[in-house]
Amino acid sequence: MGYTKRIKGDVMWEIPKRKKPVAWSTKGASNLIAVIAREEKGLTIRQTRERINYCTEARAILDIYIEKGYGDEIAAHWFK
């Protein structure tokens, strides 16, 4: 039996000064966050989360950033 790498998700989410990712998600959740973050210039991470009402995975990712103290950062600078 060979070694199999455990798949955690398509996209790795990181924050500054931390070596390990804070979360993993699907590419769909990542794309949704990026589109909404770029939709309106100047949206914060908290405001971006408020605009997502149907993807619990994307909301959970943004919740992590908010809990870590990045909720008032401009989302477009973080998610591209």
Supply the pTM of this predicted model. 0.84
Closest CA to 26 of 1, 55, 67: 55
pLDDT, the chain, mean: 88
For the chain, the structural domain boundaries read: 27-78
Three-class secondary structure of residue 33 per DSSP = helix
Is residue 3 over pLDDT 60?
no
pLDDT at 41 over 90: no
The arithmetic mean of pLDDT across residues 37-42, rounded, is 87
